[in-house]
A and B are shown apart, each in its own frame.
Chain A
């Protein structure tokens, strides 16, 4: 039996793996995320996964992780916990980051094929929520000159709420078994978050990224819901891809940076999700969803 907290993608992949190996699979998801990530939920159900709705707190990822951990401590004799992001206790971060590092193992090969070497001025832009895809996207480039830019979810333009602990000066706290920069009040109660993107809607951030920030190896910024939606529209129109709302945050940063750069500078954006899972949100915000 497997359990996993997830906003969608990792859950979908896990349900496929469970089906392949004939294992039972439970996916813990916030009730709000079940609603807004419907296509992924349907895919998981098709793979015979049981979706466990979490109705506590904000009904999003943070509550799903808590509930999944509660289930796991109660059933750790029969169940493995899989965490879909680089969050939680040490070993789960390592497992996840090692797995996602495959992205950069492939990317570094492709970059060398394309440019003959790793370009002197290379920017790798990735969205960060828990931080799994960014950790994987950057891993093999750690000892190169590549610049790492992480883009957090800035939330709605006119809202005080966001999901961007690194770019909003949040303090270090303890959440889900790890010390990390985390959105919280003075007392240490975990703060509410808001983002159009279910996968980035988390008050904490991987300790890996906290370290990269403190070591000044990566820099972190944020994009608002509106900027992400605009980037989604522009990229879908001009390119032959349709990014989900998570990487749309990274595209927003690329769009902002590109006009200021010389032609010799190279930007790679990780389009780490497909918009199909966000079709309900996009329809709601833009009036229609065309694929």
Chain B
């Protein structure tokens, strides 16, 4: 049986457009608001990434650090994250949802226990930023046994040989980090160059769904629409920060922003 993530990519390919993948942090700025945001933006996004916040996020720039901090200061726990996912999946059983975060939280809760919770709440995939290949092989295998996609990461510094190995062991989605940066950095190389690298990776196995993330905003997204999927994260976190500062409702503002992003890649 095909995974919901694979089906989402199939659907986008039929419509000849990239998948729009959003990233927001669970519990930002409250559990309720982050749940409402998920519900709202899922009307436009094809795949949803939901961050489970960690207080030492070494791969994240200022925007996502800010979102994580807001969520943690309101006391978000892993069980709340799963609760949000479960409720979301009740209304949107077909929409793929990927949890993204750092390995220590999984390690402390126990890999099997964590995956059991993923399974029972309806998580479709995992991105674990600080669990690189090949150290992630055992965990990725455990994910696969439970039909959860483990998303491998590739970056501009990954050698071709290493890419081949990672791609061989990958599941339905691979994440290409567009440039040398933390999340939310300004795009410092041209979209053309990013797509050139992207094509190199695609040639290794054209059947694998390859998405591009890091530094993608409403200004750069349309130039990259040749990809299988595009991830927007920091821009959404920044939008939440700004709407809170302006005392606006982040749910409606984010809905508009994601709607606009979608229109730019149609």
Quick one: given A177-B130, A188-B54, are A76 and B105 in contact (CB under 8 Å)?
no
Quick one: given A74-B185, A173-B107, A177-B130, are A190 and B180 in contact (CB under 8 Å)?
no
Interface size on A, residues (CB 8 A): 24
Kindly state whether residue B182 has any CB partner on chain A within 8 Å.
yes
B78 near A76 with CB under 8 A, answer no
Contacts of B185 in A (CB 8 A): 74
Residue interface bits B102-146, CB-to-A below 8 A is 1, else 0 = 111111110000000000000000000010000000000000000
B180 near A189 with CB under 8 A, answer no
A17-25, A65-73, A264-272 - interface stretch: A65-73
From residue B58, how far is it (CB to closest CB) to chain A in Å?
A: 5
B59 near A73 with CB under 8 A, answer yes
Quick one: given A56-B65, A70-B182, are A189 and B58 in contact (CB under 8 Å)?
no
CA distance A62 to B54 in the complex (A): 14
Kindly state whether residue B159 has any CB partner on chain A within 8 Å.
no
Cβ-Cβ contact count across A and B, 8 Å cutoff? 65
Kindly state whether residue A285 has any CB partner on chain B within 8 Å.
no
Residue interface bits A159-175, CB-to-B below 8 A is 1, else 0 = 00000000000011111
Kindly state whether residue B263 has any CB partner on chain A within 8 Å.
no
Residue of B nearest to A172 (CB): B107
CA distance A174 to B109 in the complex (A): 13
Contacts of A172 in B (CB 8 A): 107
Interface size on B, residues (CB 8 A): 26
Q: Please report which residues of chain B, range 63-111, place their CB below 8 angstroms from some CB of chain A when the two chains form the complex.
A: 65, 72, 77-78, 102-109
From residue A229, how far is it (CB to closest CB) to chain B in Å?
A: 30
A77 near B130 with CB under 8 A, answer no
From residue B185, how far is it (CB to closest CB) to chain A in Å?
A: 6
A73 near B182 with CB under 8 A, answer yes
Kindly state whether residue A116 has any CB partner on chain B within 8 Å.
no
A76 near B157 with CB under 8 A, answer yes
In terms of DSSP, what is the predominant structure of the interface of chain B?
loop
Contacts of A66 in B (CB 8 A): 56-58
Kindly state whether residue A214 has any CB partner on chain B within 8 Å.
no
Residue of B nearest to A179 (CB): B107
Kindly state whether residue A57 has any CB partner on chain B within 8 Å.
yes
User: Contact residues of A with B, CB < 8 Å?
Assistant: 56-57, 62, 66, 69-70, 73-77, 171-177, 184, 186-190
User: Contact residues of B with A, CB < 8 Å?
Assistant: 54-61, 65, 72, 77-78, 102-109, 130, 157, 180-182, 185
27 residue pairs bridging A and B, Cβ less than 8 Å apart: A57-B55, A66-B57, A66-B58, A69-B58, A70-B60, A73-B182, A74-B181, A74-B185, A75-B180, A76-B157, A77-B180, A171-B108, A172-B107, A173-B104, A174-B104, A176-B56, A177-B130, A186-B108, A187-B77, A187-B105, A188-B54, A188-B104, A188-B106, A188-B107, A188-B108, A189-B105, A190-B56
Beyond the given A74-B180, A176-B56, could you list 9 further A-B residue pairs with CB under 8 A, ordered by the A residue number?
A57-B56, A66-B56, A73-B180, A73-B181, A171-B108, A173-B107, A173-B108, A174-B103, A174-B130
